[in-house]
Structure 1
């Protein structure tokens, strides 16, 4: 396959601007999307689904080596009657049952057949009656709100296609190395140079969308006294995607020039209200309030699950002892940015990296473990 060279590719850090990636998408060119900039970054080949020719599908399978997947918005997945596959936990990508075009394909596995299936799946005049399952194309369902809600490759690929003025769907393929693990930065850059592909980052896409979109809105404010940390300002933010409301607790003042103690906490009925003991997380919210209260300045963002099945989902996470996937902290990050937070000292017992925070103008300079809940509340 001969790729059209997009011109000068290597800007600072070896990344192209998101505007350039969007322009390439508009013109049917493949791009590489990375979720970070270190050797452990994950990379995906992406192209708008309506531009996915047999040659492009073949290129992705040959050079990406991962599954060739179709990223769709939930509304389109529902229109096609796609059922989500069971997931071990909420942190996994939302795979739907694999599909095939009902007409116009043979075995379904060839690049031409997969391109045909993709074309049918994103054609607004087609519906559930035009596809069958199982098949050789693997749909992935993105979260509403895109990367401003979840900093994932699926949401990013859909956002880029939509921003290019095309159908809000993309074909994506994870890049795998010769050894079978995730491709390293050197391999990613080598493929980009050889085939004239731009490399864009989810971080830069988040920053781009923040300049044009805002999904949170301050809707209420009050003050209260608590045995955990004393006097607090409480602010309520509403999201424009699911209309859920989230609470922010502010101690003291926030300075954009000084580090801010920050705790992003996903509210759990079992942990925070009922005080369950088995997962070892009971009392962490109150302990964080005490810790920030003693420091005199800081912010706690309380993320509330706005889904109608929130209790059953919390029950599943409680049974598995899981918290929120760090890619899903988009709402909390937007709230922190709106409050004027920049450098953060993150109060957490987790050591996992957080994806895409730089796109919100946020920077974690230090992490501190949550201290114990002191008597008489321990």
Structure 2
């Protein structure tokens, strides 16, 4: 069964239809029904509950969570994929208590209003919000981020409702079963991988924030700064000479904390080119470009590398909150 394109999926989201989105086989290897939160109806919630049978959740932005004052469920998230569950919510003061499709749809529509207030909802409740990473699927390839991205890209409030699709025997549906489900219910089906590719090709992910002459230990360079629009980090490029010259030496330098910040000599011939080596080479050539890429090392990676360098087998990772 051929997969649907991202533009076709966005058309259905815009029209208030649900779609199926699959993640990678080496991740959760699951498919979720996805719909823009503002398009939810009791009938759709009933379909989610009776046909998909998974946990009905509401992906939202961090801004929405702050607007409604919804705290995270836990501070120390130890789930396998670090899904950001918040405390569950309810808005049944207007329709009475319960977990009917009508009541859950009402809660979602109340929470997704542009002028929604903390007093519009109560906690805990029957809807489970999930907070998406600010960079969407470009930062985390999960259904949470995919739902928010699809809603935003379709021109809706950046919030969605998702539910895992299960087989009749209670197991999770994989691609063959998901394709049958899509055909049976006439639903479009796509992948998070395709959404990542589409965003990477069609959206600007960095912007130049400044250019400055600076003196370094290797002489004068021009520093250009860029903001990563996905995660908000600042990246740097240093160049010497005319960037339009042919055969310009270029070094893309992922910053390694041990090697480039602490100046550590790495074992087993893994030293590679350091930032200092790259800058010295460009200075010697009198022209060239060094692009510094930081922020790719998580605290766990840094601590693991330190432990390996020190010859210890275990190390306590730093706090994540």
The two structures share one fold, judged by TM-score above 0.5: yes
| 1:246 maps to 2:229 | no
Partner deviation per Cα, 1:33-78 (whole Å, 9 max, x = no partner): 1123689732111001011111111111222222100111111111
The residue aligned with 1:7 is: none
Partner deviation per Cα, 1:204-260 (whole Å, 9 max, x = no partner): 2122223331112466799x999xxxxxxx9864213554123689xxxxxxxxxxx
Unpaired runs of 5+ residues, structure 2, are 239-251, 278-289, 311-321
| C-alpha distance in structure 2 between counterparts of 1:285 and 1:300, whole Å | 26
Higher Cα radius of gyration: 2
Contact 2:227 2:235 in 1 (8 A): yes
Partner deviation per Cα, 1:311-365 (whole Å, 9 max, x = no partner): xx94xx479969xxxxxxxxxxxxxxxxxxxxxxxxxxxxxxxxxxxxxxxxxxx
Aligned counterpart for 2:165 among listed residues 145, 156, 175:
175
SS of 1:66 mapped into structure 2: coil
Aligned counterpart for 1:304 among listed residues 279, 289, 295:
295
Contact 2:59 2:129 in 1 (8 A): yes
Contact 2:151 2:157 in 1 (8 A): yes
**Alignment RMSD, CA only?**
4.4
The residue aligned with 1:53 is: 41
Aligned counterpart for 2:182 among listed residues 159, 167, 192:
192
| Aligned positions of 1:40-79 closer than 5 A | 41-79=29-67
| C-alpha distance in structure 1 between counterparts of 2:170 and 2:193, whole Å | 26
Tell me the CA shift for residue 24 of structure 1.
0.6
Partner deviation per Cα, 1:161-218 (whole Å, 9 max, x = no partner): 1111111110011223344443211111111010001101112212222333111246
| C-alpha distance in structure 1 between counterparts of 2:267 and 2:170, whole Å | 40
Partner deviation per Cα, 1:274-298 (whole Å, 9 max, x = no partner): 699xxxxx9489925259x9xxxxx
| Aligned positions of 1:132-171 closer than 5 A | 132-171=122-161
Question: CA distance change for structure 1 residues 43 and 220 in 2, over 3 Å: closer, same or farther?
Answer: farther
| C-alpha distance in structure 2 between counterparts of 1:284 and 1:206, whole Å | 36
Aligned counterpart for 1:88 among listed residues 62, 77, 81:
77
| Aligned positions of 1:253-332 closer than 5 A | 283=266, 287=270, 289=272, 302-304=293-295, 314=299, 317=300
Worse-matched range after superposition: 44-53 or 148-157: 148-157
The residue aligned with 1:364 is: none
Aligned length: 281
Unpaired runs of 5+ residues, structure 1, are 1-9, 227-233, 250-261, 277-281, 294-298, 323-371, 374-378
Contact 1:69 1:172 in 2 (8 A): yes
| C-alpha distance in structure 2 between counterparts of 1:106 and 1:133, whole Å | 15
Contact 2:211 2:224 in 1 (8 A): yes
